[in-house]
């Protein structure tokens, strides 16, 4: 994500691998809890609290309820944000087999101007590493290994502490994280998607990714060719039909195409500052210093270039610092009479960059980034023919290749935690599955449900519901509470949508909150495509604390009506068993832990 990469180069997201060890005692306890909670339709995605007493999800520091999160301690609010995300994925995927996520807050890296926010992945792959555990279970229609969590997820407990004040967690459920904070629910949504199968270690993922140079799928490449392909910026794209069918409705058509008279076409990325869409045509000239200097970086005053598109080099000093900001180069080009600026990185293997910065309102000419390779070709063309070009300012969607397929993140400097398993950072608007997190990501989860469909899930195509218990496990002081999402995954607006519940006889409805405050059944009304309605439902216990308390939530009315499979979900609150926070390691043998990266300051750093 542009603007949130960090203060300096090399501070992007990073990977942490954590060795895992099986924990048979934990596994048995979990198995006994979940064995009875399988349902034919609408099973839970469940957070399993793996933190010890007083830590992470059990941190007892008092906290004021915030943004619809009713938790009253730090730990409870974190847990509820996780449960919010788990239930939203359940509603979105319509899973029929339960999924358990071993979740904990631990100290992850925070240094050099960035912080790892989270790391997650499937605990196991099945079918010769083809499917993530949760997806393998779903396809089998049963839990292939009862007692083993399907996903393990870790979040950085240091974030927000004085030692890691880059950002702070926002635990509200309203997607309104204030500046300087990171929306915890969004980070959970991101990490859970990795665990559900958006992860490069699964063959079903690499089956959807094509090396655009050879036209061969990543899963079919030799290891040497694979290693080369995943280091070619803008060189690997997603060919899955669900993403192809969805991306036009998601990605902005904001990036440009530069066309040469000979038919050559170069993708260019519009800067995040300066004027909006402006198409221009004119001769391309190499930036020439007015004082006779030999650099072509446009960092100082330029010789007059009226009506031209100035091509500027962007290199780095030996200490990796900047010579000047791109915004300054743009103002210099404008002062020389240019109609636009094209910036070409000298560093090889850099794709078209959408530069960030602030040139103020006086900048009226457009600024585009071009890849280093295309920039070199353009320079050659300029030298040979002094050529005319035209730039179609909205000729392509931001984040696509020239074929119109969505690019994966493949920087030339490979990062095990970030490369391949995320969308390219040129996409706009920012996507959930980019290597670093962005504010205000939409709760329709943009391209991610389609990508999960491409890897083998069967998400619903209309109204759908998902729920899970909310807050810590059942206890004397903790009557059962649930969080429910109703989502519209269809293409038409749904109307007259009603939410109802059928609880165990031992439960009495006390109250409802968020999108429904008048009890149940409750009219949620209209849901436009992609809309999410969220309800918190509080029950009281009529007798003692049962071992488990189940509630079937259902969409009781709505047009168009959802298929029966998608209209019902069952959530179960369980009594604290002594198992849930035990254990020292995830129950898997494979380490697929991937970071989300970081959200630095909300004000984007200056362009480099």
Judged by the rule CB under 5 A, the positions of this chain that interact with Zn ion are: 594, 596
Widest CA span in the chain? 88
| Least distance between Zn ion and beta carbon 422 (Å) | 6
| Least distance between Zn ion and beta carbon 324 (Å) | 33
Q: Which residue in this structure is represented by tokens 């954590």?
A: 18
| Least distance between Zn ion and beta carbon 184 (Å) | 15
What are the distances in angstroms from CA 503 to CA 45, 374, 487, 567?
A: 18, 62, 21, 16
- Helix (H) / strand (E) containing 126: strand 125-126
The total of other beta-carbon atoms located within 10 Å of residue 186's CB is 26
The total of other beta-carbon atoms located within 10 Å of residue 129's CB is 14
User: Which of helix, strand or coil describes residue 123?
Assistant: coil
Structure tokens at 285: 């000239």
Q: Which residue in this structure is represented by tokens 């480099």?
A: 608
Q: In this structure, what DSSP letter does residue 575 have?
A: B
By beta-carbon proximity to Zn ion, the closer residue of 363 and 593 is 593
By beta-carbon proximity to Zn ion, the closer residue of 325 and 457 is 457
Treating both helix axes as pointing N-terminal to C-terminal, what angle do 184-196 and 133-140 enclose, rounded to 10 degrees?
60
By beta-carbon proximity to Zn ion, the closer residue of 80 and 596 is 596
CA dist., res. 455 & res. 276, Å (int): 36
Structure tokens at 451: 């990508």
| Least distance between Zn ion and beta carbon 118 (Å) | 8
What are the distances in angstroms from CA 160 to CA 77, 119, 166, 601?
A: 15, 17, 7, 13
| Least distance between Zn ion and beta carbon 505 (Å) | 43
| Least distance between Zn ion and beta carbon 378 (Å) | 34
| Least distance between Zn ion and beta carbon 166 (Å) | 17
CB 94 within 8 A of CB 464: yes
| Least distance between Zn ion and beta carbon 211 (Å) | 21
Backbone angles phi, psi at 349, to 5 degrees: 75, 25
Strand partners, 371: none
| Least distance between Zn ion and beta carbon 56 (Å) | 20
By beta-carbon proximity to Zn ion, the closer residue of 423 and 553 is 423
**Residue ranges of the alpha helices (H) in 430-540?**
448-455
| Least distance between Zn ion and beta carbon 12 (Å) | 12
By beta-carbon proximity to Zn ion, the closer residue of 436 and 580 is 436
By beta-carbon proximity to Zn ion, the closer residue of 367 and 596 is 596
By beta-carbon proximity to Zn ion, the closer residue of 195 and 282 is 195
Structure tokens at 63: 């906290």
Among residues 388, 368, 397, the alpha carbon closest in space to that of 275 is found at 368
By beta-carbon proximity to Zn ion, the closer residue of 70 and 439 is 439
CA dist., res. 476 & res. 546, Å (int): 10
CA dist., res. 22 & res. 65, Å (int): 36
Structure tokens at 185: 């629910």
CA dist., res. 211 & res. 230, Å (int): 8
By beta-carbon proximity to Zn ion, the closer residue of 205 and 273 is 205
Structure tokens at 142: 């049963």
What are the distances in angstroms from CA 579 to CA 49, 107, 319, 508?
A: 10, 23, 52, 27
By beta-carbon proximity to Zn ion, the closer residue of 522 and 596 is 596
| Least distance between Zn ion and beta carbon 588 (Å) | 18
By beta-carbon proximity to Zn ion, the closer residue of 86 and 596 is 596
CB 565 within 8 A of CB 538: no
| Least distance between Zn ion and beta carbon 437 (Å) | 9
By beta-carbon proximity to Zn ion, the closer residue of 68 and 122 is 122
């Amino acid at each position: 994500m542009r603007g949130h990469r960090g203060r300096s180069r090399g501070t992007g997201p990073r990977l942490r691998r954590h060795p895992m060890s099986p924990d048979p005692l934990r596994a048995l306890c979990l198995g006994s809890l979940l064995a009875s909670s399988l349902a034919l339709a609408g099973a839970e995605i469940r957070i399993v609290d793996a933190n010890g007493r007083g830590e992470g999800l059990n941190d007892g520091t008092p906290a004021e309820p915030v943004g619809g999160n009713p938790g009253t301690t730090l730990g409870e609010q974190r847990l509820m944000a996780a449960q919010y995300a788990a239930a939203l994925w359940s509603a979105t995927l319509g899973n029929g087999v339960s999924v358990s996520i071993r979740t904990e807050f631990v100290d992850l890296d925070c240094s050099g101007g960035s912080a790892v926010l989270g790391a997650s992945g499937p605990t196991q792959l099945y079918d010769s590493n083809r499917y993530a555990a949760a997806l393998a279970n779903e396809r089998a229609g049963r839990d292939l290994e009862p007692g083993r969590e399907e996903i393990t997820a870790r979040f950085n407990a240091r974030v927000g502490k004085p030692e890691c004040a880059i950002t702070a967690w926002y635990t509200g459920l309203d997607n309104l994280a204030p500046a300087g904070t990171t929306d915890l629910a969004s980070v959970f949504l991101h990490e859970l998607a990795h665990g559900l199968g958006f992860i490069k270690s699964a063959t079903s993922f690499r089956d959807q990714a094509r090396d655009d140079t050879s036209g061969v799928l990543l899963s079919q490449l030799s290891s040497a060719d694979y290693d080369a392909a995943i280091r070619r910026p803008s060189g690997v794209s997603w060919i899955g039909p669900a993403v192809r069918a969805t991306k036009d409705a998601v990605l902005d058509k904001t990036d440009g195409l530069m066309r040469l008279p000979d038919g050559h076409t170069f993708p260019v990325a519009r800067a995040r500052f300066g004027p909006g869409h402006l198409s221009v045509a004119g001769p391309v000239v190499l930036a020439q210093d007015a004082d006779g200097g030999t650099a072509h970086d446009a960092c100082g005053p330029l010789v007059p270039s009226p009506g031209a598109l100035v091509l500027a080099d962007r290199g780095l000093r030996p200490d990796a610092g900047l010579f000047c900001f791109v915004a300054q180069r743009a103002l210099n080009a404008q002062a020389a009479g240019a109609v636009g600026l094209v910036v070409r990185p000298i560093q090889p293997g850099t794709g078209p960059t959408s530069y960030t910065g602030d040139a103020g309102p006086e900048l009226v000419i457009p600024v585009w980034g071009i890849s280093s390779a295309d920039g070199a070709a353009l320079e050659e063309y300029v030298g040979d023919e002094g050529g005319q070009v035209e730039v179609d300012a909205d000729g392509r969607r931001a984040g696509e290749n020239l074929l119109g397929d969505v690019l994966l993140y493949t920087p030339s400097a490979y990062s095990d935690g970030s490369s391949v398993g995320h969308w390219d950072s040129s996409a706009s608007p920012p996507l959930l599955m980019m290597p670093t997190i962005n504010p205000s990501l939409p709760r329709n989860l943009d391209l991610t449900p389609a990508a999960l469909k491409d890897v083998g899930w069967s998400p619903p195509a209309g109204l759908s519901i998902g729920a899970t218990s909310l807050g810590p496990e059942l206890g004397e002081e903790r009557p059962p509470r649930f969080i429910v999402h109703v989502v519209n995954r269809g293409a038409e607006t749904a109307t007259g949508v009603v939410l109802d519940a059928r609880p165990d006889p031992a439960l009495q409805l006390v109250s409802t909150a968020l999108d429904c405050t008048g009890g149940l059944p409750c009219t949620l009304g209209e849901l436009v495509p992609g809309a999410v309605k969220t309800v918190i439902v509080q029950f009281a216990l009529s007798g003692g604390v049962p071992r488990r308390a189940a509630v079937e939530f259902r969409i009781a009315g709505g047009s168009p009506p959802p298929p029966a499979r998608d209209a019902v979900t069952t959530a179960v609150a369980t009594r604290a068993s002594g198992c849930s926070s035990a254990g020292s390691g995830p129950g898997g043998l494979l380490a697929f832990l991937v970071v989300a990266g970081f959200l630095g300051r909300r004000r984007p750093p200056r362009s480099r």
